Structures are given as structure tokens and as C-alpha cells.
A and B are shown apart, each in its own frame.
Chain A
Amino acid sequence: MEITARDVAPGSVAGISRRMRSWAQGIGLLWVLLILCGVAIYLSPSFLQTGNLLNVGRQVALFGIVSVGMTFVILTRGIDLSVGSIVGVTSVSAAMMLAAGVSIPIVVLAALAIGVLFGIFNGVGVVVLGMPPFIMTLGTLVMGRGIAMTIADGQPKSLGSAADGFHFLGGGFLLGIPVPIWIFVAIVAVAYFVLRHTAFGRQVYAVGSNGEAARLAGINVPRVLMSVYVISGLLSSLTALIFVSRLTVGEPTAGTNLELEAISIVVIGGTSLFGGEGGVVGTVIGAAIIALMANILNLLGISPFTQQIVKGAIILAAVGFEVMRHRKGR
């Protein structure tokens, strides 16, 4: 096959394949992560203690699970603001069922069903009614929190005697590693596989890259969109179960601001808010960066208020970088 210089636009990255480019981006993020680790070790030798590392890992897992769902949604050029509220509703519902003596497998299934229902609700709004995802899920966010408060009457719900039996999911260990980390690893593996190696994953990228072209290419766009909101809802309620298990209480306020955490993680992980670009590996690194950053600021004894300022600045930097890169590409 002949390739002439003329066929490659000057200054473009035509010579580098997509895979190589995303790999290079991943490496950039990995560098940030390594530097953060170095800083953490330098600042405080206690960073490397097993207890601290596992803490950071658990943190990564908890925010990471929701962020994986958010990654799917953002890849289709959408957004899901309702994840935190879904966590709230699921938390109080699960806690009340457990306290009432419902068996654990049924509680788990029912809790996951709540997430799926919320996902379908969001999906119907976006797909059938054609509402902008931002507005649709904003409505769900507000309503969901209200539902959680109403169900729980504004009070935290104790698990009662069921707490011990349910402890394993969020507080247990397997081979010396907290169970939530195992769950996170499994979810990341599945999500990576789905996005990379299945027809559905390909269609998620297609819808996000160019929705109209996807429709004209015969892709069932409504089904793809519906699926990503269901995935996001499902992973939100899974997160809620871990919360409830670990804290032994279902709080109606659980998951407040979780949507902001998840969006930050996804964006820092290099998934484009313009859709069709990015993936779950970046999201894992994004979650690790956010957790490490918080850990370092804690180790430094910086007040939570100041931490918020730093975190906001990081998000702006990440998004700003992304927007600039996008503009250059056009």
C-alpha cells in the first residue's frame, strides 16, 4: 500500500494510531500518579503503611465504582447527575429491609433493582422525551434525595441485628485485601472488556462520537443510551450497598455530592465530555489521583476547606486541558 506525504495533513497526528495515542495519554496520567506517590512518601513515611494504603485503596474503590458507570454515560456524550441520590435512596431502602429481617440475597437484588429503575427513569427521559441528560438527571437528583428523605423520615436507619451478617461486603477482607477493592477490580475488568471487545462497547463510542451518524449507520441509539443510564444506576446502588455494609447504617444523605466526585474522576481520567473518547483505565487512574491527593492533603494536615479549593483547581485544570486539546484537534 502506498502512502504519500500528501495524504497526511501537516501537523496532524495521523502517523500515530489511536491506540498509541491513548496509550501515551495513559502514560501521562500514570506519571502524575507516580509523582503524587513520591510526594506522599516524601511527606510522610506513614503513607506506605499497610493501613493507610488500604484506606486509599478503599477510597479509590468506592468512588471508582460509580465513576465506571459515569464513564459509560459520558462516553455517549451524556452526564448522570443522579448517582448520589440513587445511593441515598438505595442506602435507606436496603437498611430498612435488613432491619426488617429480609434475607441478604433478596436485599441485594432489591437494592440493585432500585438502581436499575432509576437508570430506566433517566433513560426514558433522555431517549423517549428527548430531554437533555443534564436536566433529566438533575431532576432525578433532586427527586431522589427527596425520596430518600421521605422514606427514612430524615433519619439514619440502623441495620439492627442484621449489621454483622452484612458486614462482609463493605468491611470484610479477602486474602488480606478489603472486599470493596475486589469488587472494584472485577467491575473495572468487565467494563474494560465490554468497552474494548464487544459490539455494544463499540456502539457506545459511536453514539458519543457522532449521534446522528450512529443513527444513520443503523445503530439502535435509544437502546445504547438506555443501557448506559441503567449501568450507571446499577453501579450507584452497588456502591450504596457497600456504604451501608461498612457504616452499618443507611443514611438518607449518603452519596451527597458523589456525582461531582465521579465526574471529576472521569474527566481527570481523560474521558472527553464531548463524548466518544476515553475509557475505564483512565477512570481508574483518575480515581487514584483524586484519592491520593486527598490523602496527601490530609497527611499535610491541610484543612478540609482548603482541600476543596485545591480539588476544584485540579478539576478546572483537567477540563481546561481537555478543552484546549479538543480545540487544537479541530
Chain B
Amino acid sequence: MTKALFSLQRENDFSKQTAAPALVLEMRRIHKRFPGVNALKDVSFTVSHGGVHGVIGENGAGKSTLMRVLSGAYIADEGEVVVDGKVVPSPTPDAMLRLGIAVIYQELAQAPHLTVAENIFLGRLTKTKLGTVDWPGVREGAREVLGRLGFDVSPEARIDQISVAQRQMVEIAKAIARDARIIVLDEPSAVLGDSELAHLFNIIRRLSREHGVSFIYITHRLKELFEICDDVTVMRDGEVVASTPIDSTNTGELIRHMVGRELKDVFPKRVEPRSEIRLRVSNLTRDGILDNISFDVRRGEILGVCGLAGSGRTEVLRAIAGADRIDAGSVEVDGKAVSIDTPQKGLAVGIGLLPEDRKTEGLFLDQSVGFNITVSKLGLVSWRGLIRPSSENSVVSRFIRQMRIKTPAAGTKVRTLSGGNQQKCGIARQLHAGNEILLVDEPTRGVDVAAKREIYDLLVELTATRGSSVVMVSSELPEILGLCHRILVMRQGCVAAILEGPGATEEQIMSHAVWH
């Protein structure tokens, strides 16, 4: 008996390095590689029984990948997942669900036309003897779970008729109905209002304290961590850079951990912008998305726009370019008020948008390089609506040469080019159209280092020699700091700060961008 106990204890000692009592989950030395990216590097992560563990990090830090490994959606290349001290032999989605791990994603995976009760029991509706669904039983079960959790939602309400906060509650009820013991919340604050969030926090506290449910709470907002979490883990570039009880850290330290990297890319020298104001945006508002945005951009200036995902940075560019409607506000170009409600009108005053997702919004992937370059202003290569092949060919080959677009021919489909060369085609289209106000959204995303450098050079050259104005959204802070004359930081659809580029630091930007 003693011996058995002893061996059990030994085994326990072996399975956990930390002394914390009752670890319900341990992820040990997880590695996950994708082609070209090392998404998770030697990540270890623990959750204690009834604890709330916050995870924070910039976009692309590896938070979501880690949670996908936890839910079984991804299989780790190395490392193991340990639940209740036992290694999970095959971590499939099904197995993780049965072990009581539930992930509640930001985009809720619910059936909008079904009722709350049906969603709670989705996929495992109880049956009657005849094989039909036992509807009274299902409703009763749903009512029981909702009541136990103190959720004020009718089991008969349809999902598309209840609020987002209530939908979050339904997801939590669904997890609890499945006896989940570890619930992952993926940025709930991105979709919830303040009072709804407060309510969610009450629920989290009660479930963790009274029912021993553990939570993993992913967020961008530091303030929430201090409000709800027991522990916090900071991720950066696929690695855990810090993991600590929340009481022994502070906001400044967390921000330093989140950004802490050196400026290693080389940027072309900044040239002073001219004094004339090219673009002035006043009180731009789009209900619920953009709130009273005002700024101006001078000739020859590169204005960086940064902020966390969902802060409205992309939406600002789209609103100015006429891609999305606006509810209030005005735009002036060279001192003249312009009304831009379609991209066509934006183009007419020289405003061009390089969209965030070049594959779905930017390029015609199955058309040729030439097609993609001239499509915005076919008038420049035509005569009375007829395209003149000779003038089109010479324009296209000039861009291919000048911008060093690596393509076998002008007639090659853009789909077959590398990311960097695709992006150059998109920029070439803007230049062909003669746009002098360029709104570029993540211009270097998915682009290799050499092409990145070429894009930087190009943007600087355009502003310095032609006096073009560039507004650049980027989630890569080093490139914002390296290129921009001024930096507009967004938070929650508002302008949080406008900083001078030279001298600004990542810490400074992040402290404006995060919620605290």
C-alpha cells in the first residue's frame, strides 16, 4: 500500500516540474512548424485547477496556434499535452473534447437559425425510443444548465435573435453541458461591450471558484488581465517570453515582453516631407467602427497607422478610399473637399488603395500581369475605348523592368508569381493609375525579405521624388518605426495618439494601442 502510494507520488513528481497544486493542464515543449514558419517554438504552458490563465501577445505571436494544438485542431510536431497528469496519447479534436477542453472562438461557430437549446445540445440531442428527438428533454436540459449558471437566456430563443454577449453565454453553457473543465476564451472582449464583459467576468469568477472550472483567457487588453486572471503568459514570435502570476508583474513589464525585439531590418533614409497638406481627414465616423478620426498627411510624407487587430486601422483606409460607406466626416485633397463614396471617385482624385488581402481584394489572380497593372486606368492605354496593344505592352514592360517584377512574361498569370512580385503588381497598378495618395494596407505581409526592402525603397522614393503621400497600415512595428514620418495609433476605432516617427518606440506605440 505504502509502496503503491510512493510510486504514484514519484510518478506525479515526474509529471510536473512546478510545485503548484493540482495542475489540470500541462503543455510541454510544444513545437509546431508550417512551411516557412516556425509557429510554435518550445512552448510550455500550464493551467491550474480553477485558475484563470491569461495569454497575451501581438498578432501572429502564436496564441491561436497554441489553442488550436490544445483543441486538437493542429497536431504538434513535438511535445506533449498532459491532462490531469496523464499524457494524451492521440490529441484529436474528439479526444480533447472528451477530456473536457472547450475552445470558444471569437467567431462563434453557432447555428444561427436554431434555438439556444438546440445549440447547447448540438450534435448530441437526446432521442426518444422512436428515434425522434426528445424535444421536452432537450429544453429541460438546456433550462437546467442555463439556470445552474445563472444565465438569463430563454432556451427557446433563436440564436440570431439574441445579443452577442448572450451567444457567448450559450457557448459557455454548451461547454458546461459537456462537462468541460478547461474553457478557452479567444478575445471575448473584441465583441463584447463593457457591461457585457463585466457580466462575463462574473461568470468566469463564479465558475472557477465554485465549480473548479479552469479558463484560458486570450486578450489584447492588459487591463482585463489584471481584472480577471491569476496567471499571465506573454507570447512573442511563437515563443513564451514570460509566464508569471499576475500579482508579480505590471503593465510596463508586460508591454516590454510583448514587443521586446531589436530593429533588425535596414530602412532607407527618411527624407523630410514638404509643408503643403495633401490629404486632410476630419471627423471621419462609421457607426460602431470608426469614431471621429481626424488627421492630415503632407506631400512627401509617410504616415504610419498602427493598432491591434480590430482597432479600425484597415477600416480607416477603406473609408477614405471609398471602399466602405461613412456616416459622417469629410475628406479634403489639396485643400478641396471631395466626396468619395466609391473607389472610382477616390481614383478620380488620385487616391488609391492597396488592400489588406491582395488575393481576395487586390489582384485578379487568374489574369495576366499586364491585365492587373493597367486595369484601373485602361483609358491611358486606349483610344476611344479601344485598347492599343502597343501602348499597353510598352507600359507594362516598363513597370516590369522598373519595379523588377520577376515574371516569365507580361502574359503570365499573377497567381503563379511569388507574394512579393504579386504585391509589386498591385503597387504598379497604383502607379499606372497615377495615384499620388497611396493608402497601403500591410504592404509587406507574406513578402520575402528582399522584396520587402524593395517595397520600402519604392515607398520612400515615391514620397521623396514625386511628393506622393503614403498612409501605411502595418502590424509590423519595426517597419512603421523605420519608415514613417509620423505614426497614428488607433485603439477601438479612435485615434489614440499621433506620434513623431523618429524617436518613437515600440513600447510607446503599444502602450497607446492596448487597453489599460
The stretch among A28-36, A136-144, A175-183, A203-211 that forms the contact with chain B is A203-211
How long is the Cα–Cα vector from A277 to B321 in the complex, in angstroms?
Answer: 29
Q: Is B366 an interface residue (CB 8 A)?
A: yes
List CB contacts (< 8 Å) of B338-375 with chain A: 342-344, 346-348, 353, 355, 360-368, 371, 375
Q: Is A15 an interface residue (CB 8 A)?
A: yes
Given A216-B361, A217-B376: A202 and B406 within 8 A (CB)?
no
Q: Is B385 an interface residue (CB 8 A)?
A: yes
How long is the Cα–Cα vector from A188 to B339 in the complex, in angstroms?
Answer: 41
B355→A209 contact, CB < 8 A: no
How long is the Cα–Cα vector from A3 to B369 in the complex, in angstroms?
Answer: 15
Q: Is B411 an interface residue (CB 8 A)?
A: yes
B418→A218 contact, CB < 8 A: no
* Least CB separation from A326: chain B residue: B366
Q: How far is the CB of A282 from chain B (nearest CB, A)?
A: 16
B376→A218 contact, CB < 8 A: yes
Q: How far is the CB of B385 from chain A (nearest CB, A)?
A: 5
B385→A200 contact, CB < 8 A: yes
Residue of A14, A217, A219 contacting most chain B CB atoms (<10 Å): A217
A198→B368 contact, CB < 8 A: no
B365→A210 contact, CB < 8 A: yes
Given A17-B411, A19-B411, A218-B346: A209 and B406 within 8 A (CB)?
no
How long is the Cα–Cα vector from A20 to B376 in the complex, in angstroms?
Answer: 25
Q: Is B401 an interface residue (CB 8 A)?
A: yes
List CB contacts (< 8 Å) of A11-47 with chain B: 12-15, 17-20
B385→A206 contact, CB < 8 A: no
List CB contacts (< 8 Å) of A209-244 with chain B: 209-210, 212-220
* Interface size class, chain A: 35 or more
Q: How far is the CB of A117 from chain B (nearest CB, A)?
A: 25
Q: Is B470 an interface residue (CB 8 A)?
A: no
Q: Is B483 an interface residue (CB 8 A)?
A: no
Q: Is B400 an interface residue (CB 8 A)?
A: yes
A198→B386 contact, CB < 8 A: yes
Given A199-B378, A212-B360, A220-B344: A15 and B367 within 8 A (CB)?
no
Q: Is A276 an interface residue (CB 8 A)?
A: yes
A14→B413 contact, CB < 8 A: yes
Q: Is B323 an interface residue (CB 8 A)?
A: yes
How long is the Cα–Cα vector from A12 to B414 in the complex, in angstroms?
Answer: 12
Given A7-B407, A202-B378, A277-B366: A14 and B387 within 8 A (CB)?
no
- Give the contacting residue for A205; candidates B347, B367, B401, B413; CB below 8 A: B367
B385→A15 contact, CB < 8 A: no
A7→B344 contact, CB < 8 A: no
B362→A213 contact, CB < 8 A: yes
B367→A276 contact, CB < 8 A: yes
List the A side residues contacting B346 at CB < 8 Å.
218
List the A side residues contacting B401 at CB < 8 Å.
1
* Least CB separation from A217: chain B residue: B376
- Give the contacting residue for A216; candidates B323, B407, B409; CB below 8 A: B323
* Least CB separation from B405: chain A residue: A1
A9→B416 contact, CB < 8 A: yes
How long is the Cα–Cα vector from A199 to B366 in the complex, in angstroms?
Answer: 18
- Give the contacting residue for B387; candidates A8, A19, A202, A276; CB below 8 A: A202
List the B side residues contacting A1 at CB < 8 Å.
400-401, 406
A212→B433 contact, CB < 8 A: no
How long is the Cα–Cα vector from A197 to B362 in the complex, in angstroms?
Answer: 23
B353→A210 contact, CB < 8 A: no
* Least CB separation from A275: chain B residue: B366
B344→A206 contact, CB < 8 A: no
Given A203-B378, A210-B363, A216-B361: A4 and B406 within 8 A (CB)?
yes
B375→A206 contact, CB < 8 A: yes
A210→B360 contact, CB < 8 A: yes
A14→B416 contact, CB < 8 A: yes
Q: How far is the CB of A245 from chain B (nearest CB, A)?
A: 33
List the A side residues contacting B366 at CB < 8 Å.
209, 276-277, 329
Chain A 64-86: CB-based contact to B (< 8 A → 1; otherwise 0): 00000000000000000000000
* Least CB separation from A220: chain B residue: B344
A212→B411 contact, CB < 8 A: no
Q: Is B208 an interface residue (CB 8 A)?
A: no
List the B side residues contacting A219 at CB < 8 Å.
344, 375-376
Lowest 7 CB-CB distances: which A-B pairs, in order? Answer: A17-B411, A218-B347, A14-B416, A199-B378, A209-B364, A7-B406, A218-B344
Cβ contacts A to B, 10 pairs, < 8 Å: A1-B401, A2-B406, A13-B413, A14-B413, A198-B385, A210-B360, A216-B361, A218-B348, A220-B344, A276-B364
Taking Cβ atoms with an 8 Å cutoff, the residues of A that contact B are: 1-4, 7-9, 12-15, 17-20, 197-200, 202-203, 205-206, 209-210, 212-220, 276-277, 329
A20-B411, A199-B378, A202-B387 provided; 4 other pairs, C-beta below 8 A? A4-B406, A17-B411, A202-B378, A213-B360
